[in-house]
């Protein structure tokens, strides 16, 4: 079974086996939890790899087609269709009691500050979730190494509204990357890219009274360069 997300334009994006190995090896709070939740779980590829964690597994995703495919791959796993901002949907997983919530693939980078606060609030208020792990982009690295990000920020400075035709790709940052590489700059759908800088991330999380904040380079993406940080919060 394929474990790597690959796009013919962008190349390798993420190897899920590397990610699970990273979490298993680097997370102390994971070992203290009895369940692992992936949100958004997409088609369930990460959950398939998460068998090695020897935890109860579950996933949540907004899109019906993805939850159906995830259930097809993982028929013994609880899969919930719904929005992670919906506390009632999150509560459908409360039977897991002592859970680690993973939000991967730069999920937290595609939202403005107000939405990120809503997500962190919803998670912190869910008593059965004891820890949460997610990645954020290394802002300085991204600006220095990706021409598309430089191009994007310069456009914003000049007051240009960016839009994209690549609506079949969910992540706005990857839409932007494709637009740049394909030379597409014309518009149909408004798009924004939100960087969550490391110092802002720490401040925001401290405001919600997480007892521990661990920060590690996301070496599952790249062993030699720090393109992302993996943030782990524990109550």
pLDDT digits (tens, 9 = 90+) for 86-106: 777 888 888 888 999 998 777
Q: How far is CA 16 from its chain centroid?
A: 12
Kindly state whether residue 123 falls inside one of the protein's structural domains.
yes
pLDDT of residue 133: 94
pLDDT of residue 84: 77
Residues 146 and 56 in one domain: no
pLDDT of residue 191: 46
Residues 63 and 34 in one domain: yes
Task: Determine the Cα–Cα distance for residues 37 and 100; give it in Å rounded to an integer.
Answer: 6
pLDDT in tens, 109-164: 777 788 888 888 888 888 899 999 999 888 888 778 776 667 666 665 665 555 44
Kindly state whether residue 219 falls inside one of the protein's structural domains.
yes
Residues 161 and 217 in one domain: no
Query: Which stretches within the chain are classed as H helix?
Result: 16-26, 28-32, 45-49, 64-73, 87-91, 113-124, 139-145, 147-157, 172-182, 198-206
Kindly state whether residue 188 falls inside one of the protein's structural domains.
no
Q: Is 110 helix (H, G, I), strand (E, B) or coil?
A: helix
Task: Determine the Cα–Cα distance for residues 192 and 171; give it in Å rounded to an integer.
Answer: 10
Summarize the confidence of residues 204-209 as an average pLDDT.
Answer: 84
Summarize the confidence of residues 169-188 as an average pLDDT.
Answer: 49
Residues 144 and 210 in one domain: no
Residues 116 and 73 in one domain: yes
| CATH number of the domain within which 95 lies | 3.40.50.150
At residue 72, does pLDDT exceed 70?
A: yes
Residues 91 and 177 in one domain: no
pTM of the full structure: 0.79
Residues 36 and 149 in one domain: no
* Parent domain of 162: 140-182
At residue 200, does pLDDT exceed 70?
A: yes
CA distances from 234 to 59, 89, 91 (A): 20, 21, 19
CA distances from 103 to 46, 76, 172, 184 (A): 11, 21, 16, 30
DSSP type of residue 163: B
pLDDT of residue 155: 63
Residues 166 and 76 in one domain: no
Kindly state whether residue 187 falls inside one of the protein's structural domains.
no
Residues 117 and 169 in one domain: no
Residues 21 and 84 in one domain: yes
Kindly state whether residue 99 falls inside one of the protein's structural domains.
yes
Q: Are 163 and 223 in contact (CB under 8 A)?
A: no
Residues 62 and 123 in one domain: yes
Q: How confident is the model at residue 214 (pLDDT cuts 50, 70, 90)?
A: very high
Kindly state whether residue 189 falls inside one of the protein's structural domains.
no
* Number of domains into which the chain is organized: 2
Kindly state whether residue 39 falls inside one of the protein's structural domains.
yes
Kindly state whether residue 172 falls inside one of the protein's structural domains.
yes
Residues 60 and 154 in one domain: no
């Amino acid at each position: 079974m394929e474990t790597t997300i690959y796009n013919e334009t962008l190349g390798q994006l993420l190897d899920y086996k590397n990610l699970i190995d990273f979490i298993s090896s680097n997370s102390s709070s994971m070992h203290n939890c009895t369940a692992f939740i992936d949100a958004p779980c997409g088609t369930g590829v990460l959950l398939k790899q998460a068998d090695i964690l020897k935890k109860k597994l579950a996933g949540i995703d907004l899109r019906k087609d993805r939850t159906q495919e995830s259930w097809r791959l993982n028929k013994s796993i609880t899969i919930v269709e719904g929005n992670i901002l919906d506390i009632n949907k999150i509560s459908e997983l409360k039977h897991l009691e002592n859970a680690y919530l993973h939000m991967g693939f730069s999920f937290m980078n595609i939202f403005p500050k107000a939405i990120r606060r809503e997500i962190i609030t919803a998670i912190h208020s869910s008593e059965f979730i004891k820890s949460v792990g997610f990645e954020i982009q290394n802002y300085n690295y991204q600006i220095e190494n990706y021409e598309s990000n430089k191009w994007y920020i310069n456009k914003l400075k000049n007051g240009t509204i960016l839009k994209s035709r690549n609506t079949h790709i969910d992540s706005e940052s990857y839409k932007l990357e494709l637009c740049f590489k394909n030379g597409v700059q014309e518009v149909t759908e408004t798009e924004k890219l939100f960087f969550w800088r490391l110092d802002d991330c720490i401040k925001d999380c401290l405001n919600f009274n997480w007892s521990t904040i661990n920060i590690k380079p996301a070496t599952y993406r790249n062993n030699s360069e720090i393109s992302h940080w993996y943030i782990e919060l524990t109550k």
